[in-house]
Amino acid sequence: MTKLSDQTLRMINQLPKDVRAKVDGVIRTHVSACLKNGSPVENLDRLFIEAVEVIRMEEKFPEPKMDYLHEVEPFRRYEQYSSPRDL
């Protein structure tokens, strides 16, 4: 593995603990996916920077919450096609 640059280390150390934990989760997920697929883990600096960007975007634009019951399926009605000849 390659070493992180001083600038990236400074950026990581300035993050709050909760954000750093989320970034760590993103990085662990990415690295485990790379190892599972046999892909090399390239450029750790870029990986950390992108993980921080992802977390900031998720905080700024959270996933919308759907207010519906998962157990209940909506009513659907499928009309059969009738050709003009049939009419």
For 62-71, what is each residue's pLDDT tens digit? 877 777 666 7
pLDDT tens, position by position, 25-50:
999 999 999 999 998 888 888 999 99
Give the number of other CB atoms < 10 A from CB of residue 22: 19
Q: What 8-state DSSP symbol labels residue 70?
A: S
Give the number of other CB atoms < 10 A from CB of residue 41: 14
**Cβ–Cβ < 8 Å for 47, 25:** no
Q: What's the pTM value of the predicted model, to 2 decimals?
A: 0.65
d(CA 87, CA 67): 42
d(CA 80, CA 75): 16
